[in-house]
A and B are shown apart, each in its own frame.
Chain A
Amino acid sequence: MIRLAARTILLTMTVFALGGCGIKPWVKPYERHILADPIMNFSRDPVSAAYETHVYQARESARGAEGSQGGGCGCN
């Protein structure tokens, strides 16, 4: 079920991309000041996030898919 979800998302993204090669970004680069704010970060303090992940992994059977990257100022 998870594999199906992952595959579906990839395919959707692909179709979306192929169909709209010229997609204009709907959030302009200069509108990203909010996304660049540290409170909009998925993990503001990596040393703490890594520790919290460790606390759960040592006690739970579930593992994986913990981190997220991206967002932010979108510079470059």
Chain B
Amino acid sequence: MKASIKIPFSFLLLAGALMLPQLTAAGEISGPAPDFTLKSRGGENLKLSEFRGEVVMINFWASWCAPCRQEMPLLDQLYNRYSPMGFTILGINVEEDSAQAEKLLKEIPVSFPILYDTGNTVTELYKVMAMPSTVMVDRDGNMRYLHLGYLPGYEVEYEAQIRELIKE
């Protein structure tokens, strides 16, 4: 008896269903960006509201997160290109122990401010759902875009959104 070549209907349906995109990994959001104060790598405390008037890209990252490591050099490039135009990146490290983060920053040095959220208060405040997560905040302090995760190619979207928010 020849083995059936037909793949059962159920299996095709399952496989097809797995490919349906539902919520996208990038979307528009709204509302004022919750304010926070965190200790920075330089030692001083930085407060989000101090950056009112600039476009702020808040990026939540961790040393154990491979896509975060992939993203870092690209974020640094964006920072160097657009910071003269009133743009900054706040790289919030979410680890309780900052030693691994420091080690990574020695391997992948960046110029933008790094903040340490060792108590995970800001990650709770922003309801971080994926690693990495990126929130774009406009010059008025409102959240405009949210990115969950990082895949190669996202940096193109980041750049488009930065340019849009800078022009406002």
Contact = CB atoms under 8 A, between A and B. Distances in A.
Q: In the complex, are there CB atoms of A and B closer than 8 Å?
A: yes
Interface of A: 25, 28-30, 32-33, 36-37, 73-76
A28 B67 contact: no
Size class of the contact patch on chain B = 20 to 34
Nearest to B96: A33
Contact of A36 (B60, B64, B133, B150): B64
Of residues B129, B150, B151, which shows the largest number of chain A Cβ atoms within 10 Å of its Cβ?
A: B129
A30 B123 contact: yes
B64 A28 contact: no
A75 B95 contact: no
A76 B120 contact: no
Contacts of B94: 30
B120 A75 contact: no
Given A36-B64, A73-B66, A75-B67, A28 B123 contact: yes
A25 B129 contact: yes
A76 B64 contact: no
Given A29-B131, A76-B150, 6 more contacts: A28-B120, A32-B64, A37-B64, A75-B65, A75-B66, A76-B151
B68 interface: yes
B130 interface: yes
B128 A29 contact: yes
Contact of A30 (B60, B148, B150): B60
Nearest to B123: A30
B25 interface: yes
A32 B60 CA distance: 14
A28 B131 CA distance: 10
B109 to A, nearest CB: 22
Chain A to chain B: the 10 pairs with minimum beta-carbon distance, closest first: A76-B149, A30-B94, A36-B64, A29-B131, A75-B67, A33-B64, A75-B65, A75-B131, A30-B123, A29-B130
Contacts of B95: 30, 33
Contacts of A28: 120, 123, 128
B9 to A, nearest CB: 16
A37 B150 CA distance: 20
B62 interface: yes
